[in-house]
Structure 1
């Protein structure tokens, strides 16, 4: 397909997103709209849209490419997600709704003090900047290879255009717009997934054997791995890590929780989490099925495409124009459904948690929020361009989850300590604990792998959280009667 036609498809797609932005921003511009959508979002719309935001372009590209090396082992992590989402729905959501939070990190201020509040928000900002940049880097790289290299457009220009388009449809109404654009983007992504599976299945000429039998009979469909406790793919490591990853990347993440907090009530938000969990589990399994079919297709046809390149190469050069068009739309939809909400949540957290925007009058608040939105757009551009010279061959999703273990671990420790103990940690030393825990975790992970051949893998998140919890325990004391009453009010 000629690059000009691809550009027209992308332009039409973003035209629809901008139209949605226009329709959802007719109300008077306000920060309440931008941050919480006035808490008027239908729960089923939020649930469906969260699928795309959770999967993102990273899953769209990397999960199918993982099958060749890890088979269906990723489902061990996904099964762990179910436990994590149960914790979110029954423990965290009731807390957030009771405290009527705009930023979920405000809880840390109420529980520990200002230092822990700023520390938690800062770790989120770091995590989300890098995480969103990982996801957008992947998509920008694919677009660069497919379109812009042929047109002589440099990578930095591709990245800049990508961020400008996101800013264009989120700058006015923020999360209120994103709740609806994410729904559309999730739909496009799932259509692309279905078209790709049907096409590859037909091209394999499997005959009368059903798709289910074909997949289940393949050695690549192995899900559970119990044989090597030292391996990063060991079941209990993956399952337990999956539960904690869900808690931190959804329940302790302003990006994902901001969508939940736009629901009309706690009951609606919990229904959203229930159905979101079911659909996300099924969709991840289907992505792995696609990866199995594509891996076999590439092997049978002698195609040298592996890991993150597998889906893109097959869609572009081997599976026909229809698959390529839907692949392109699905990839962009998956990436932008994650990136637009990331930009909005970064703006929200920095405005509320760092700049204390609520102390200003309404007009000044809007000015500060707009400037913050632009600043984070520019920052994402710089970080993505930097990644061009850092990321090499390893699957992006693996890098993302490993990095998550180090940045979300302190948040896991802070919230666990706050929710499950009645002790009062010394707020002055909390930032030090939160910084030391990832450093010690990295050292333990590195040396255990080097000297004992024990790979922590995603389990480093739990190690990091446990070290944070231990550090908080060391700097804690029994609360005074006044502090005890505050803890009771916060958690009951």
Structure 2
């Protein structure tokens, strides 16, 4: 694909995003950046959250991972449904009742300043790492499609990628993102649907024949019952439930969108439809993954060593031109729909949770907010460059592995606050929050030797949360009643 064509497609795409940013940021006050004035239509939030939750990781890594684990990832997706039910019935009512801007403010009200800062810190760490992984994907694709031809270094690609996000989010914030995420989700789903159709056409099969081909290939196996396997059903299902709770319900990025809805009822309606569509879309990605391997086999195309490279390779070098263009739009939309809201959420959390803006009658300064927004852009750039130097595994595995260690303390803190009436010796909470991931890592590294061959998968997140909960129980105060 011609680099000039790629640049033209990307330019038009971002001009559209800039136009949306201009329309949604007119006559806004500074608070609009953080809350969108609580006026977002629930159906826009629900549809836009699809792209934000899937991101470039799902777009590239999930189809590629089908070659290693077939449809086993769908077991995690089924577990999401349980997690989203908990979010809709337990967490959203709490957040709306307390009228929160940052969800971690709850921890201060429940336990104290150190608990609050610990939760917010681990969110910042989690989201910086996760967003860097996701942006690494799209930067790699842009490097392959455009900048290699001009001899530009990877660092320039990353800088351009992040600069574009900053330009269309620094004014409108979450209000802009609700609308741009809707557009980006549409591009992403369209890219998958068109890719599937073009492969069906190239293989000269009917939809029924294509379905039978996937079923007979072995790629469509979903359930794994071997208890020692990291893809065991119960491990994956339970992990999926907790991943949904922590990476959506306890994540400022995802909850900030929900909290822009007009009412709790609208936010719950949004969550209900979001989880249904998310399951369908994930199944589409897995089906496309199976077809990518079948297509490569039928066309005698060598499978790349890194499974993450399969879809980009086929789309950019072997599919018709229209498929390459659609793929680029899809991967850019997928990555940016996650990264733009993450940058806004990082800015919100730092301004509210660490600078105290918007609390105790302390005004939200636009100048400070823009500086924080820019600072996090620079931090993402530096982390992506570091990740480029050390990454040696499937990105989706890396993302969830990182989340298992960094979201665990948040899970433990919120769970302890919601299901117990104990107060804590607040100053000891940061120590518990730091030790729990370390102990979890040690357990994970030695699990096969200690537990008869048992391998932890994504459920290391649950272990981390339980360790945090136990640690908090040890530092509880004697009184039971909340004060």
Match of 1:55 in 2: 54
Counterpart check, 1:414 vs 2:413: yes
Deviations 1:444-465 (A, max 9, x none): 1111135543211101000000
Structure 1's 456 and 364: CA in aligned 2 closer, same or farther, altered over 3 A? closer
Deviations 1:369-403 (A, max 9, x none): 111001001111111111110112x2100110011
Task: State the secondary structure of the residue aligned to 2:159.
Answer: helix
Cα contact 2:357–2:363 (8 A) shared by 1: no
User: Which 10-residue stretch deviates more, 416-425 or 443-452?
Assistant: 443-452
Unmatched tracts of structure 2, length 5 or more = none
- 1:146-157 mapped onto 2 (5 Å cutoff): 146-157=145-156
User: Which 10-residue stretch deviates more, 114-123 or 314-323?
Assistant: 314-323
Match of 1:43 in 2: 42
In structure 2, distance between residues paired with 1:78 and 1:254: 21
In structure 1, distance between residues paired with 2:36 and 2:195: 35
Q: CA offset at residue 146 of structure 1? A: 1.5
Task: State the secondary structure of the residue aligned to 1:200.
Answer: helix
In structure 1, distance between residues paired with 2:24 and 2:435: 44
Match of 1:105 in 2: 104
The normalised TM-score by structure 2 is 0.97
Cα contact 1:128–1:346 (8 A) shared by 2: yes
In structure 1, distance between residues paired with 2:106 and 2:301: 52
- 1:418-437 mapped onto 2 (5 Å cutoff): 418-437=417-436
- 1:44-443 mapped onto 2 (5 Å cutoff): 44-206=43-205, 209-226=208-225, 228-306=226-304, 307-358=307-358, 365-392=365-392, 394-443=393-442
In structure 1, distance between residues paired with 2:303 and 2:138: 17
In structure 1, distance between residues paired with 2:445 and 2:13: 44
Task: State the secondary structure of the residue aligned to 2:195.
Answer: helix
Deviations 1:36-66 (A, max 9, x none): 0000000000000000000001100000001
Cα contact 1:29–1:172 (8 A) shared by 2: no
In structure 1, distance between residues paired with 2:389 and 2:116: 34
User: Which 10-residue stretch deviates more, 128-137 or 451-460?
Assistant: 451-460
Cα contact 2:358–2:364 (8 A) shared by 1: no
Q: CA offset at residue 360 of structure 1? A: 8.6
Deviations 1:413-438 (A, max 9, x none): 10111001111121111100000000
Task: State the secondary structure of the residue aligned to 1:357.
Answer: coil
Q: CA offset at residue 201 of structure 1? A: 1.6
Deviations 1:197-249 (A, max 9, x none): 011122223357443333333311011111x2111000000000000000000
In structure 2, distance between residues paired with 1:25 and 1:97: 24
Please list every run of at least 4 consecutive aligned residues from structure 1 whose deviation after the TM superposition is greater than 4 angstroms. 359-364
The normalised TM-score by structure 1 is 0.95
Unmatched tracts of structure 1, length 5 or more = 487-492
Structure 1's 119 and 208: CA in aligned 2 closer, same or farther, altered over 3 A? closer
In structure 2, distance between residues paired with 1:345 and 1:150: 35
Deviations 1:88-125 (A, max 9, x none): 00000000000000000000000110000000000000
Match of 1:458 in 2: 458
In structure 2, distance between residues paired with 1:42 and 1:256: 15
Q: How many residue pairs align between the two structures? A: 480
Cα contact 1:84–1:243 (8 A) shared by 2: yes
